[in-house]
Chains A and B, each alone.
Chain A
């Protein structure tokens, strides 16, 4: 099968069953997608609003703060906490989904 030679499909390893491999590959793709999305938000909140566009955002007032200043000293940090929370919650769901898929494969095999 192609996964063994193609370096991009890298969920190859000790596991031999192609169905199990595919389940692991799906789980890995889902984790990567989640990680990329969260890191984009991370960059926008911290490096974007807090740094790169801070001077422009400072024209706006929020809770008594100039907005760029608020992002640099409050908003970015609060966003970071929420991002890790979302990550932990979503990954727990993905892990359960993978466990369910693997369990289904095992019952299937026992039946056949």
Chain B
């Protein structure tokens, strides 16, 4: 069977599985719809959280990014896992004990203010929409690459599937579908790397293989030392050395911390802890979630190192006829392109020798734009520099040197000549990663609109049936918007997703921590803190990224500024507190109630009296 037949088969089987699971888990009330009836076992919730968390970007992009960054790639690894420690220790058990449906619920009740609820609601919607657009795009791209259908058709198929299982089963349907998606995506990620590790180093455990020696035929040195040597020879920054290039100590520190704190403040992750039975189960599902996530995150650095070695080894210095088949596959769609200097050999070089580099990616250029560059380049070659223009200079100026990061995970099985079914499995895994994250986000959007905005703020007298029907409609509208943004992506989407973490770090996290660990912080300091934190972060990001402002704050880049925003938020809230009114008696009672571990069965169905 060919790769494409295998892909159709595996995608068909996994999609049927998701629909079957969702049909079995369909629900009839809002409690089932928002929080899966609070009956999800901790271990299943852990798997669902893991699938929810690991997006198309984690699955396809992260290992590739690490591969290109080396040591600094650890920023993403530590940032996106370290946040779960904060979440499990500081937020999850207490928010579960609080026992409502959403994050704005807690902010509104704890700080006794509709304004605070509204600020939280807007943040939740903004973060979720930027995220979900990227996921839909990911679904479309996987379809386009593996099944050769149009990106638009791919997005529409993805939209239809998510719509069916999210409206049918709400949180319950999504949770159990995500459990199935976890297994698909983790197998798809790990199996190829184990095979590659064994081929390359004779060590089947990738985490150890990464530190092992290469066979004598290829030098017999340790893989990481070999990579460092190759990098040095070709003009790249060292693979293992810390703090190279623009990733200096302060930026690595601030970006790591901003990603950690931002992870703990993301509404679609927090809301998962509302679905379990009690406080105990919330703590355990934090553990299971990180354990399941760490399977991918501990494997990704190995994927990155192996792929880095293979990519350089199999294409650098080769002539056209020696290039591997995966090179042909991916160069067809522009993930990597070769602009030769006339010697017929492909030279892949790093920043130190950037004038000699011949390997690029098309990136956001349209096919016609790139075709023009290619024509000019050919003219330049034929006239020996008299006419046309050197395409390599043009591409380097456009920041398009080197292959696209997405290629590495997708091309890994092909690089190692693995079987067709494994390549197809990777396609199914990429789809599982994108769909599971998209569905979790859509539910947050739906509950923000139907629960926080409509029921809690506009029409408190709405009946159960009205709310449930509105929730389903809200998912429908959100799916369509996400799909449209996925088909026609505005240029800023990718950047905005990275900034969502900074915004979550500087808004939600401090307010939630203060709400739980202090009884003294009241309405005014909390709102002032949120507004100052998010205001500072957003202003800094906008001014440095879009208006070319200087990085006046210790030279920190826009990705790391959330750390300072968080400090601002804490500082403003705590320094205003002594001058402001303490919270009411009812809120004090609410806080002591969420700190006490028992009485879960009693409080699970009954909202607290505190408002």
Residues on A close to B: CB < 8 A? 7, 10-15, 24, 27-28, 31, 35, 38-39, 42, 46-47, 50-52, 54-55, 58, 63-66, 68-70, 72-74, 76-78, 80-81, 83-85, 87-88, 91-92, 94-95, 98-99, 102
Contacts and interface: CB of A to CB of B under 8 A. Distances in A.
A50 B598 contact: no
B301 interface: yes
A80 B286 CA distance: 11
Given A46-B260, A84-B287, A77 B297 contact: yes
B290 A7 contact: no
Contacts of B291: 81
Interface stretch (B84-92, B189-197, B308-316, B550-558): B84-92
Contacts of A24: 592, 595-596
List the 4 closest A-B pairs by CB distance, nearest first. Answer: A64-B211, A72-B74, A13-B592, A54-B242
Contacts of B298: 74, 77-78
Contact of A46 (B78, B93, B249): B78
Given A12-B592, A80-B81, A84-B84, A47 B257 contact: yes
Contacts of B66: 73
Contacts of A74: 207, 298, 301
A65 B222 CA distance: 9
B588 interface: yes
Residue of A46, A83, A102 with highest tally of chain B CB at under 10 A: A46
Contacts of B365: none
A81 B287 contact: yes
A12 B314 CA distance: 68
B593 A64 contact: no
Interface of B: 66, 71, 73-75, 77-78, 81-82, 84-86, 88-90, 93, 207-208, 210-213, 222-224, 240-243, 249, 252-253, 256-257, 260, 279-280, 283-284, 286-287, 290-291, 294, 297-298, 301, 519-520, 582, 588-589, 591-593, 595-598
A80 B85 CA distance: 6
Given A70-B211, A88-B284, 20 more contacts: A7-B520, A11-B592, A12-B592, A13-B589, A13-B592, A39-B86, A42-B85, A46-B78, A55-B242, A58-B241, A64-B210, A65-B210, A65-B224, A68-B242, A80-B290, A83-B89, A87-B89, A87-B287, A88-B88, A91-B93
Contacts of A84: 84-85, 88-89, 283, 286-287, 290
B598 A81 contact: no
A27 B4 CA distance: 59
A92 B595 contact: no
Contacts of B86: 39, 42
A68 B298 CA distance: 15
26 contacts: A7-B582, A10-B588, A11-B592, A12-B588, A13-B591, A14-B592, A15-B592, A35-B89, A42-B86, A46-B78, A46-B82, A51-B78, A54-B71, A64-B224, A66-B240, A66-B241, A72-B242, A78-B294, A78-B298, A80-B84, A81-B294, A84-B89, A88-B286, A92-B280, A99-B598, A102-B598
A99 B279 CA distance: 14
